[in-house]
Amino acid sequence: MSGPAPELVDLGLREAGEAIQARRASSAELTEAALARIAATDGRLGAFLAVAPERAREAARAADARAAAGGRRSPIDGVPVAVKDLFLTRGVPTTAGSRILEGYLPPYDATVVERLEAAGAVLVGKLNMDEFAMGSSTENSAYKPCRNPWDLDRTPGGSSGGSAAAVAARQVHGTLGTDTGGSIREPASFCGVVGVKPTYGRVSRYGVIAFASSLDQVGPLARDVGDAALLLRTIAGHDPRDLTSSTRPVDDYLAGLEGGAKGLRIGVPREWFQGGVDRGVEERVRAALALYERQGARLVEITLPHSKYGIGAYYLIAPAEASSNLARYDGVRFGLRAKGAAGLKEMYTETRARGFGPEPKRRIMLGTYALSSGYYDAYYLRAQKVRTLIRRDFDEAFSRCDVVAGPVAPSVAFRLGERTDDPLHMYLADIFTITCNLAALPGLSVPCGLEAGSGLPVGLQLVGRSFDEVTLFRAARALERELGPPPRPRGV
């Protein structure tokens, strides 16, 4: 059961924008269709933490007025989208998936939200996520789990689970998520959608609740490569409010999209194919590589010798930065404050004990330890040096290839509850995505077929040179063009 006007919800992001411009559909119609689809499906799916129907309708009305006057702002003017609940939205509750921010109404919008709205996109609501972006399954959401539209007993991945599920389930035409260790790419892979983590610094982090400052990046999730490219182009670019955002001009990611894979040198890291990946997943990935070869790309065996140290480095650096970033949640100025505390110190410890779930607590503890006196050199500092070594691996690889290809995750979407007892096991699955964040390079997941047997989506990961998203999009599109879009998920 999918609610009224299913055809509208099936439109891609660009298709929807074009439909509005050509007056074949109105933003109001698209918005009502999205809201209806959400109402019909989200009870089971759990992709949304907050829906803002009135704000959306108002934005739709304005978009339609612009379309009538022939003055559209951008190719996505009037198209319903949604963003991870990590992005601050003025007047709309923003929780980071945590109880410590339950009901928090920010006084300002994140830069990426401003840019989406300046482009005329209709923001429909805030998407479910692992608490403070810590997790790979959205099971760490303090509110409710999100489910995979392909199989409601399985996770959509995380931490941007809601962002991937909402796109796959056709609730909205495109979403934004964040990726710190794989949190866009892994859910994109699990849900059969395109998910992009841009080069560090390509997109502003102002107004994005910080998890790990030197790793977090905002990125788009969409049903196809072109839509993702368009969304990225809309939000990318320097922000004077973020001194970690690059002043490099933004490329037109749509310009060379259909360039094809001929002549492309695709690096295949030997370390990524040494086992530890489910056979069905590896089959799909290898098939995609074979397809590239048939298209005229050249496969080049490369080595990323420090690949296996990525988890160790990441699980020191990210928690360390997070332990500091999460210190502001102290009950003093906003958010939860524990009642009945005897004094100041107890107010702090009780507020944070009650407000944070186990995963943030675990990472805060780990990070505090890694930075503490006597341990800083052996842990945090060493991890930052290993990070340099990992980056050098990629620099060396990119002297011999143009993109690096491999799996996104060792498996397809796993069942809810399957990994919640063993945090380390959960962490180890980040092995393929994590080095890209550490190296600050762009990476994406593009669907490369369904796993034989389970019928669940598998994503191919592509990692590119610094600020070379253009090549990534071109390569991903070449695959997509030949494979065709994935079928609709059967779960919702």
Evaluate the CA torsion angle 76, 81, 84, 90 in order and state its sign.
Answer: positive
Measured CA to CA, the distance from residue 12 to residue 33 in angstroms comes to 14
Residue 241 is a binding residue for another protein (CB under 8 A) = yes
User: What minimum distance in Å lies between the beta carbon of 424 and another protein?
Assistant: 5
- Does residue 309 contact residue 386 with C-beta atoms inside 8 Å? yes
User: What minimum distance in Å lies between the beta carbon of 426 and another protein?
Assistant: 11
Site residues for another protein, window 268-297 (CB under 8 A)?
none
User: For the window 125-164, what string marks contact with another protein as x by the rule CB under 8 A?
Assistant: ----------------------------------------
Closest CA to 80 of 137, 8, 182: 8
Residue 213 is a binding residue for another protein (CB under 8 A) = yes
On the CB side of 41, CA atoms within 13 Å amount to: 34
Catalytic residue among 26, 136, 183, 445: 183
Residue 102 is a binding residue for another protein (CB under 8 A) = no
Q: Which of 34, 313, 434, 458 lies at the binding interface for another protein (CB under 8 A)? A: 313
Residue 321 is a binding residue for another protein (CB under 8 A) = yes
Q: Which of 332, 396, 415, 487 lies at the binding interface for another protein (CB under 8 A)? A: 332
Site residues for another protein, window 453-472 (CB under 8 A)?
466-467
Q: Which of 102, 327, 396, 490 lies at the binding interface for another protein (CB under 8 A)? A: 327
Q: H helices within 69-147, ranges in order?
A: 111-118
Q: Which of 57, 61, 99, 391 lies at the binding interface for another protein (CB under 8 A)? A: 391
Site residues for another protein, window 412-431 (CB under 8 A)?
423-424, 427-428
Evaluate the CA torsion angle 69, 74, 75, 81 in order and state its sign.
Answer: negative
159 as an active site residue: the answer is yes
Residue 214 is a binding residue for another protein (CB under 8 A) = yes
User: What minimum distance in Å lies between the beta carbon of 444 and another protein?
Assistant: 18
Place of tokens 């879009």: 485
Helix (H, G, I), strand (E, B) or coil at 460: strand
214 as an active site residue: the answer is no
Residue 333 is a binding residue for another protein (CB under 8 A) = yes
Please count the residues of the chain: 492
Query: Is the bond preceding 159 in cis, omega lying within 30 degrees of 0?
Result: yes
Residue 242 is a binding residue for another protein (CB under 8 A) = yes
Q: Which of 20, 96, 235, 401 lies at the binding interface for another protein (CB under 8 A)? A: 96
Site residues for another protein, window 340-379 (CB under 8 A)?
341-350, 352-353, 356, 361-362, 364-366, 368-369, 371-373, 376, 378-379
Catalytic residue among 26, 27, 137, 159: 159
Measured CA to CA, the distance from residue 271 to residue 289 in angstroms comes to 16
Q: What phi, psi does 82 have (nearest 5°)?
A: -150, 160
Tell me, what amino acid is at 30? L
Q: Which of 2, 74, 244, 303 lies at the binding interface for another protein (CB under 8 A)? A: 244
Write the Ramachandran bin of 460: left for phi over 0, alpha for psi from -120 to 50, otherwise beta. beta
Residue 39 is a binding residue for another protein (CB under 8 A) = no
User: What minimum distance in Å lies between the beta carbon of 102 and another protein?
Assistant: 11
Measured CA to CA, the distance from residue 397 to residue 86 in angstroms comes to 34
What is the arrangement of strands in the sheet containing 265-269, beginning at the earlier edge strand?
48-51, 122-127, 80-84, 174-179, 217-222, 194-197, 443-450, 457-464, 403-407, 265-269, 298-302
Measured CA to CA, the distance from residue 259 to residue 475 in angstroms comes to 8
Residue 152 vs 341, nearer CB to another protein = 341
User: What minimum distance in Å lies between the beta carbon of 358 and another protein?
Assistant: 8
Residue 108 is a binding residue for another protein (CB under 8 A) = yes
Residue 386 is a binding residue for another protein (CB under 8 A) = yes
- Does residue 208 contact residue 87 with C-beta atoms inside 8 Å? yes
Q: H helices within 252-309, ranges in order?
A: 279-294
Window of 2-10, 97-105, 152-160, 479-487 that interacts with another protein by CB under 8 A: 97-105
User: What minimum distance in Å lies between the beta carbon of 339 and another protein?
Assistant: 9
Residue 249 is a binding residue for another protein (CB under 8 A) = no
What residues are labeled active site? 84, 159, 183
